[in-house]
């Protein structure tokens, strides 16, 4: 840090299991990636190339190489897996992961209907090849999954070999974990946390008010995702009680 300040919550060192910041890159240029890493690389644990943007993003190999040289794992959004799945081309998806030297992959069913056994079988298979993150929750705001089902799916997917389960919110933070207004489904999150260890979950929380809510509930070292590249420094101050929203939260005197 740039100077000393007392009563700052401790952040774990990278690589860490708790306190992860997953950033969504939805089409940064190579130069923007370099600028982003200069500012936020040390606070960023994972980068997701949002949904299927990797299909159209220019200079994909070069972009992956820049993240790799900064030691930051990158994966393609779960929607890309779903795009291959719906076409019956999951074997081809596995070849794409190989071709690009991917070490992480996301498996989700936010835009498709997929039986949970089938999803778990993909998690089992893919986790032989890469570290798997699996996402729970629909991208369809009309589809409200009750808490017991979130818990059941998260447990099954972790048992099938997922390294972390991700709670769906999309880029906007207005589905899945959240109501269409962006308000947290508090009862849902609290119930999930009674059954699933907090370090096993990454909560998609793109909006500032959502990040604040999770830091207050879980603590400075909550795992959050879908953070915009230019919000990482802001998030770090929220985690440390150095923005108005969490200013009093960590003070002991």
Ligand X SMILES: O=S([O-])[O-]
Site residues, ligand PEP (CB under 6 A): 48, 50-51, 77-79, 139, 170-171, 226
The per-residue DSSP string of 109-134 comes to -SSS---HHHHHHHHHHHTTTSEEEE
The residue (of 137 and 241) whose beta carbon lies closer to ligand PEP is: 137
Listed ranges 107-115, 118-126, 184-192, 219-227: which one lies at the site for ligand X (CB under 6 A): 184-192
Name which of ligand PEP, ligand X, none residue 186 binds, using a CB cut-off of 5 to 8 Å depending on partner kind. Answer: ligand X
Question: Can you tell me which residue has the tokens 């159209």?
Answer: 56
Q: Is 188 in the site for ligand X (CB under 6 A)?
A: yes
Cβ atoms of residues 177 and 166 within 8 Å? no
Can you tell me whether residue 2 is helix, strand or coil? coil
CB count in 10 Å sphere of residue 91: 9
Rounded Cα distance between 165 and 158, Å, is 7
- Specify the residue, 232 or 240, whose C-beta has the smaller distance to ligand PEP: 232
Q: Is 192 in contact with 167 (CB distance < 8 Å)?
A: yes
The verdict on 194 binding ligand X (CB under 6 A) reads no
Q: Who contacts 139 (Cβ-Cβ below 8 Å, separation ≥6)? A: 110, 111, 168, 170, 175, 176
| 187 part of the interface to ligand X, by CB under 6 A | yes
Q: Return the residues of window 137-166 that contact ligand X according to CB under 6 A.
A: 147
88 in contact with ligand X (CB under 6 A): no
> Binds 81, which of ligand PEP, ligand X, none (CB < 5 to 8 A, cut-off by type)?
none
Only segment of 38-46, 50-58, 179-187, 230-238 that touches ligand X (CB under 6 A): 179-187
Count of CB atoms situated within 10 Å of the CB of 105: 24
Q: By CB under 6 A, tell whether 186 contacts ligand X.
A: yes
Question: Which of ligand X, ligand PEP, none binds 50 (CB below 5-8 Å, type-dependent)?
Answer: ligand PEP
By a kind-dependent CB cut-off of 5 to 8 A, residue 126 interacts, out of ligand PEP, ligand X, none, with none
Helix (H, G, I), strand (E, B) or coil at 42: helix
Query: Which chain residues interact with ligand X by CB under 6 A?
Result: 147, 185-188
């Amino acid at each position: 840090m740039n100077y000393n300040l007392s009563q700052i919550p401790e952040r774990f060192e990278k690589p860490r299991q708790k306190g992860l910041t997953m950033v969504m890159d939805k089409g940064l240029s190579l130069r923007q990636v370099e600028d982003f890493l200069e500012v936020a690389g040390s606070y960023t644990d994972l980068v997701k190339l949002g949904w299927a943007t990797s299909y159209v993003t220019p200079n994909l190999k070069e972009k992956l190489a820049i993240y790799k040289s900064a030691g930051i794992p990158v994966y393609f959004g779960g929607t890309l897996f779903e795009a291959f799945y719906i076409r019956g081309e999951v074997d081809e998806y596995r070849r794409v992961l190989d071709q690009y030297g991917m070490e992480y992959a996301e498996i989700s069913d936010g835009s498709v209907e997929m039986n949970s056994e089938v999803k778990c079988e993909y998690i089992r298979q893919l986790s032989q090849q890469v570290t798997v993150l699996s996402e729970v929750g629909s991208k369809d705001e009309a589809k409200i999954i009750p808490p017991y089902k979130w818990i059941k799916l998260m447990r099954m997917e972790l048992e099938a070999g997922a390294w972390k389960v991700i709670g769906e919110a999309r880029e906007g933070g207005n589905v899945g974990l959240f109501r269409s207004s962006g308000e947290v489904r508090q009862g849902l999150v609290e119930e999930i946390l009674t059954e699933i260890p907090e370090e096993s979950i990454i909560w998609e929380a793109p909006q500032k008010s959502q990040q604040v809510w999770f830091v207050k509930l879980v603590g400075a070292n909550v795992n959050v995702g879908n953070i915009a590249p230019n919000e990482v420094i802001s998030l770090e101050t929220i985690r440390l009680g150095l923005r108005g929203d969490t200013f009093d939260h960590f003070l002991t005197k």
